Amino acid sequence: MTVESTAAHKPRRSAGGKTGGTGTKATGTTGTKRTTRAAKKSTDPQLVQLLTPEGERVANPEYDPYVAGITPEDLRGLYRDMVLTRRFDAEATSLQRQGELGLWASLLGQEAAQIGSGRATREDDYVFPTYREHGVAWCRGVDPTNLLGMFRGVNNGGWDPNGNNFHLYTIVIGSQALHATGYAMGITMDGADSAVIAYFGDGASSQGDVNEAFNFAAVYNAPVVFFCQNNQWAISESNEKQTRVPLYQRAQGFGFPGVRVDGNDVLASLAVTRWALDRARRGEGPALIEAFTYRMGAHTTSDDPSRYRHDDERIAWEAKDPILRLRRHLEAANHADEGFFGELEAESEALGRRVREAVRAMPDPDRFALFEHAYADGHALVDEERARFAAYQASFADAEGGQ
């Protein structure tokens, strides 16, 4: 399967006509001095794929070793992860519609990229997510209801990042790539063999911070894997508004490898991420993984994708659905029976119910939470403002009491 059609790389205002940075004039043909040739070669990227959309397992001598030991049970586990993540995500979307959440950023369509990469991490690894990595959070054992606090508006994150080595969601695009790199530098200093994985989107690749992170990681040879979920859209902007060439190629310019993986293939995502984490642990430094996937829903519940993209596109991608694909494989290989699917269905419903109930029971924060945690060691002005606020609040109580 090739997907290049959805990743057109023509520059927007090329007066020349040639696309993609290929220097085709007579004098532009020697490859070693100029990077032209390599760039040209790789504008026709090949995805790493281990499962076709039809669920057929295809051999890949390079990455097969990373999933060699995988059992039918493991496969069912990955399937279960994806199904439950999707169920959780759907529940959150509907909770937003019911007014229980202020906003939701759905991962619909990106389950394989997230579960595959998330399951590749080791317990002592550390994850730096964006705001959409609900599936990765699931793999890390973060209680999914924890993710909902910020979308409900009761906190700005708030879970303990060190509880599951899963950092807080970061909204300012790209910032966390540097945090991940710094954390990874710390791992090296500690002499540990853990690794870090930093998630970001195709849009984020344009930010200075992400590129600085690439460079710091390369220079310090930091054990960090950059995992870019290219879901084809940054809100309303498609890939060609962010980049002239496929994103995985960016890594090369900083001196580390980049790989494009089929992000709708959970097995390939798992294998490639294991490869990258392994080499990071071994001290071979950073790698960039571009997981080629698709945001099947809106950017967030506030978004209206009909303004900027056609339905056909989504429909085409539905044929590559990550969950369907693994189900076909499981069924064809007789790795799962009706019982399994039935139980999972029930488990899904239970999860949905639990999430629904937990969200509805989530109390509004106490108003004094305004002043909590602005500082760790206290701040005189905050103390003063808190005291004034308390007196002000008390004045209402007095007034009411006095009536």
Ligand X SMILES: Cc1ncc(C[n+]2csc(CCOP(=O)(O)OP(=O)(O)O)c2C)c(N)n1
Residues annotated as catalytic (active site), given as ranges: 295, 299, 308
Residue 204 sits in the site that holds ligand X (CB under 6 A): yes
Out of 19, 42, 207, 252, the only residue in the binding site for other proteins (CB under 8 A) is 207
For the bound state, the minimum distance from the C-beta of residue 104 to other proteins, rounded and expressed in Å, comes to 10
According to CB under 6 A, which residues from 111 to 140 bind ligand X?
132
In the block, tokens 């004045």 appear at: 395
The reply on whether position 306 binds a copy of itself by CB under 8 A is no
* Count of residues near other proteins by CB under 8 A: 81
Query: Of the ranges 34-42, 137-145, 202-210, 340-348, which one interacts with Mg ion (CB under 5 A)?
Result: 202-210
Cβ–Cβ < 8 Å for 174, 210: yes
Which one of ligand X, a copy of itself, Mg ion, none is in contact with 273 (Cβ closer than 5 to 8 A by kind)? none
Question: Shortest distance, CB of residue 362 to Mg ion, whole angstroms?
Answer: 29
Distance CA 257, CA 285 (A): 9
- Helical H segments across 104-191, by residue range: 111-120, 134-139, 149-152, 161-164, 175-190
8 Å CB contact between 46 and 60 = no
> Which range binds Mg ion by CB under 5 A, 53-61, 99-107, 114-122, 234-242?
234-242
Q: Which is nearer to other proteins, 75 or 251 (CB)?
A: 251
The smaller minimum CB distance to ligand X, of residues 188 and 232, is found at 232
Q: Applying CB under 5 A, does 305 fall inside the site for Mg ion?
A: no
Is residue 8 part of the contact set for other proteins (CB under 8 A)?
A: no
Distance of CA 277 to the CA centre of its chain: 16
Q: Can you tell me the distance from the alpha carbon of 143 to that of 214, in angstroms, rounded to the nearest whole number?
A: 31
How far, in Å, CA of 285 to CA of 272, rounded?
15
Residue with structure tokens 């080595």? 165
Distance, in Å, from the CA atom of 321 to the CA atom of 215, rounded to the nearest integer, reads: 34
Question: What is the SS3 assignment for 234?
Answer: strand
- From residue 171, give the alpha-carbon distance in Å to each of 133, 157, 177: 12, 10, 12
Per CB under 8 A, the segment of 86-94, 238-246, 267-275, 323-331 that binds other proteins is 238-246
Strands (E), 89-195: 126-128
| 402 in contact with other proteins (CB under 8 A) | no
Residue 265, both tokens: 């293939």
Q: Of the ranges 103-111, 254-262, 353-361, 374-382, which one interacts with a copy of itself (CB under 8 A)? A: 254-262
Interface segment toward other proteins; rule CB under 8 A; list 27-35, 77-85, 165-173, 273-281? 165-173
**Between residues 109 and 286, which has the closer beta carbon with respect to Mg ion?**
109
Residues 224 and 280: beta-carbon distance below 8 Å: yes
Residues 36-95 contacting a copy of itself, CB under 8 A = 36, 38-39, 41-43, 45-48, 61-63, 65-66
Query: What is the closest distance, in whole angstroms, from the C-beta atom of residue 203 to ligand X in the complex?
Result: 3
Q: Is 219 in the site for ligand X (CB under 6 A)?
A: no
Task: Give bridge partners of residue 196 from the DSSP assignment.
Answer: 126, 224
Q: How far is the CB of 85 from other proteins (least distance, A)?
A: 21
**Three-class SS state of 287:** strand
Which residues 333-392 are close enough to bind other proteins by CB under 8 A? 364-365, 367, 369-377, 379-382, 385, 389, 392
By CB under 5 A, is residue 109 in contact with Mg ion? no
Of 271, 129, 266, 135, the residue nearest 204 (C-alpha): 129
Contact 299, 121 (CB under 8 A): no
Interaction residues for a copy of itself, span 177-216 (CB under 8 A): 188, 206-209, 211-212, 215
187 binds, among a copy of itself, other proteins, ligand X, none (CB under 5 to 8 A by kind): other proteins
Q: Is 50 helix (H, G, I), strand (E, B) or coil?
A: coil
Could you list the residues that contact Mg ion (CB under 5 A)? 201-202, 231, 234
